[in-house]
Amino acid sequence: MSNRANYEAFYRRSITDREGFWREQAALIDWHQPFDSVLDYNRPPFAKWFVNGLTNICYNAIDRHLAARGEQAAVIWVSTEVDRVEEISYRQLYQRVNAMASLLVEMGITKGDRVLIYLPMIPEAIIAMYACTRIGAVHSVVFGGFASGALASRIDDAAPKLIITADAGMRGGKVTDYKSLLRDGLAAITVEAPKVLVINRHLTTTPCPLPGEVDFAEAVVRHVGKEVPPVWVESSHPSYILYTSGTTGRPKGVQRDTGGYAVAMRASMRHIYGVEPGDVMFTGSDVGWVVGHSYIVYAPLLTGATTILYEGLPIRPDPGVWWSLVAKYHAKCMFTSPTAIRLLKKTGVEWIRKYDLSCLRTLFLAGEPLDKETHRWVSEALHGSVVDNYWQTETGWPILTNFAGLGLLDLKFGSPTVPAYGYETLLMDEHTGEKVGANAKGSLMIKPPLPPGCMTTVWGDDARFVETYFSRFKELYYATFDYAMVDDDGYYFIMGRDDDVINVAGHRLGTREVEEALCTHPSVAEAAAVGIKDDLKGQEIEAFVVLMSNVVPPSEDELKNVVVRQIGGIAKPKFLHIVTALPKTRSGKVIRRAILAIAEGRDPGDLPTIEDAKTLDIIRDAVHLR
């Protein structure tokens, strides 16, 4: 059978015999108690997978492999920031996770409690995540690049009992003081203050004691050698919350289950990524993003593979560092973002050619559009297959992809190929709500139930889950908020977001978040942020700010830094202009589309509802000055 026919049969079965298909996939993990039925879909769009099955993710990712691969490396930590390498075998990981789990239990953490993890790329980040899932606690990892405002809103929403943090992280040789960011975040919360557990790396010279903090190294000593039995949880028990941005300023807590996620992760390694027990996978991302959760932390270990955890930049000490890791540790599969590859492309192909990369079977890229040029360049440089895969924090694993495991389909540059098994995708006309045919643009929708591994609800807010994702058209379909097109061969092309989400270097940010951060400055009356095209990062942020009357104008840098302090460096606007007015509709809504068009040098077109067309000139003049 050709790869295409094989894929089609596999895909069709996942839709027409959904329960039979996923029953088979569920055998890829261990169940403490078998499930009664594969799917409960009595309350659309809420899907419960593997009903009444009991399992544990940590058990499946660690304990299960001890007999056959206890001495195999589970995690290889490489830090070019502090010049260290640590290989942690499955047995050592088991011991370290148990010790931390035992400490968490002593600190009063039990099943269902939330634990916020705010850590750099160190082994303790992975250990903390597994210590939580071992005891049924729900982790909420906050990306280390986020600052105090982002932390505070996530603490308020998840109400964690405990925060696990470090004194500091390092990026490009520069120290980021995590504890002072956390202190500022804690000062702004409205919920009860959580306990704080600190992993001290001795990187910062400015001590910042937090009230009641516990030093991890001191506290864990009493727990070394202890074993904590895995807490068997229902398949639908939440494993974690991961916040992501949307149209509104308030980030949404994407909630994931346990059984469905474990099955989806292991299955995706087999069919999509082509990774099996004993293989090595290197994912150049951050544990604070969904790609890190799924393909640094969970999927590789659920598979019995080795994961590489890299702390540092891809171009430091030199632009060959990632390829050197692939070659040295024989990575079979690598995964990163298009931005990282565009960055490496600028430094020249010789950095790739320097290494014997024959071990590398496939490079996967996701998180933002992969332009044809970069796709072609990296495929030629590697003499190998480079797979563009499209998905979201919400889904946890690819919606559209090619398949290293099942057998690669013909590649088309610019296309993330075809729907993954389990996803019934369709395109709908955004105005009429009718299905669109081949070669026409539409909103990419998924017919529910969403497959295992996808978000099960918005944390603490079922209504918001339905309103946000399932209320686009009259049918109860899941909205991805991306435009797409399908060609005559069934290949998909993603054409950008259809909401106000900006994607900077694969980092998803809401325009509203940036605007709200700017408005915390006492001199700012209102603000508009747009994502303008950028050759390296895909998009960059350009912001326009209107000041209160009679204030001394702050400098542009001061305003940019407000965003950095509130959200983090990833959200820093590239350009910021102080203007006297913003283009608005007669009902008072800022017309971001018009601002974006002008900022990108395009004609904003007809704007029949604009209140004052002169505001367009104000934006034009500001943009001319950059």
Give the one residue of 73, 231, 291, 296 binding ligand PRX; rule: CB under 6 A: 291
182 touches 151 (CB < 8 A) = yes
Judged by CB under 6 A, the stretch of 218-226, 382-390, 435-443, 574-582 that binds ligand PRX is 382-390
Closer to ligand PRX by CB, 499 or 526: give it.
499
The DSSP annotation for 156-208 comes to HHH--SEEEEESEEEETTEEEEHHHHHHHHHHT--SPPPEEEEE-----SS--
Q: Of the two residues 216 and 397, which places its CB atom closer to ligand PRX in the complex? A: 397
Residue 64 neighbours by CB distance under 10 Å: 18
Q: Token pair of 106, please? A: 């002593």
Q: Does the footprint of ligand PRX cover residue 497 (CB under 6 A)?
A: yes
**Nearest-approach distance from CB 503 to ligand PRX, in angstroms:** 5
Within a 13 Å sphere around the CA of 80, how many CA atoms are in the beta-carbon half? 17
- Strand 478-486 versus strand 492-497 pairing type: antiparallel
| Residues 482 and 497: beta-carbon distance below 8 Å | yes
Q: Which amino acid is at 131?
A: A
**According to CB under 6 A, which one of 47, 61, 281, 366 is a site residue for ligand PRX?**
366
Smallest separation, CB 494 to ligand PRX (Å): 4
DSSP 345-362: HHH-THHHHTS--TT--E
Q: Is 272 in the site for ligand PRX (CB under 6 A)?
A: no
Residue 297 contacts ligand PRX per CB under 6 A = no
Rule CB under 6 A: say whether 511 interacts with ligand PRX. no
The site for ligand PRX, by CB under 6 A, has a size of 21
From residue 477 to residue 496, the character string flagging contacts with ligand PRX as x (rule: CB under 6 A) and all else as - is ---x-x-----------x--
- Residue 241 backbone phi and psi in degrees, to 5: -120, 140
Q: Could you give the C-alpha distances from 512 to 86, 328, 345, 461, 547, in angstroms and in order?
A: 41, 44, 33, 20, 17
Q: Tokens for 437, please give them.
A: 């045919």
Among 46, 143, 391, 477, contact with ligand PRX (rule: CB under 6 A): 391
Distance of alpha carbon 261 from alpha carbon 23, whole angstroms: 14
Short-list 22, 27, 29, 92, CA closest to 59: 29
Q: Which two tokens stand for residue 320?
A: 């060959």
Binding mask 400-419 toward ligand PRX (x if CB under 6 A, else -) reads ----------------x---
Residue nearest to ligand PRX (CB): 393
Q: Does 362 bind ligand PRX (CB under 6 A)?
A: no
The answer to whether residue 290 forms part of the interface with ligand PRX (CB under 6 A) is yes
CA 92 from centroid of its chain's CA atoms:
27
Report the candidate in 291, 477, 462 with the shortest Cα–Cα distance to residue 393.
291
- Binding segment (CB under 6 A) for ligand PRX, from list 45-53, 69-77, 361-369, 453-461: 361-369
Q: CB of residue 104 vs ligand PRX: minimum separation in angstroms?
A: 28
Minimum CB distance to ligand PRX smaller for 236 or for 389? 389
For ligand PRX, the closer CB: 161 or 342 = 342
Whichever of 274 and 369 has its CB closer to ligand PRX, that residue is 369
**Of positions 195, 223, 332, 508, contacts ligand PRX by CB under 6 A:** 508
393 binds ligand PRX (CB under 6 A): yes
Residue 332 CA to residue 278 CA, distance in Å, equals 10
With CB under 6 A as the contact rule, the residue among 133, 204, 503, 539 that binds ligand PRX is 503
Q: Which stretch binds ligand PRX (CB under 6 A): 34-42, 126-134, 190-198, 365-373?
A: 365-373
Task: Considering only the stretches 42-50, 184-192, 356-364, 366-374, report the one whose residues sit in contact with ligand PRX under the rule CB under 6 A.
Answer: 366-374
In this structure, the number of other CB atoms found within 10 A of the CB of residue 208 comes to 16
Q: At what angle do helices 338-347 and 372-382 cross, to 10 degrees?
A: 60
With CB under 6 A as the contact rule, the residue among 136, 314, 369, 583 that binds ligand PRX is: 369
- Which of 148/393 has CB closer to ligand PRX? 393
Is residue 304 exposed (0-12), middle (13-18) or buried (19+ Cβ within 10 Å)?
A: buried
Question: Does residue number 389 form part of the binding site for ligand PRX (CB under 6 A)?
Answer: yes
Helix, strand or coil, per DSSP, at residue 478: strand
Q: State the DSSP code for 108.
A: T
Using CB under 6 A as the binding rule, whether residue 368 contacts ligand PRX is answered as: yes
- What element of type H or E holds 481? strand 478-486
| Binding of ligand PRX by 392 (CB under 6 A) | yes
Q: Nearest 5 degrees, angle CA 420-CA 421-CA 427?
A: 60
Task: For residue 364, give every residue at least 6 positions away whose Cβ sits within 8 Å of its Cβ, in sequence order, or none.
Answer: 273, 333, 334, 335, 336, 386, 387, 389, 404
Token pair recorded at residue 172: 């490009």
Is residue 244 within the footprint of ligand PRX (CB under 6 A)?
Answer: yes
Does the protein bind ligand PRX through residue 361 (CB under 6 A)?
A: no
Residue 395 CB, shortest distance to ligand PRX, in Å, is 8
Shortest Å, Cβ 398 to ligand PRX: 8
Residues forming contacts to ligand PRX in the complex (CB under 6 A) are: 244, 290-291, 366-370, 388-393, 416, 480, 482, 494, 497, 503, 508
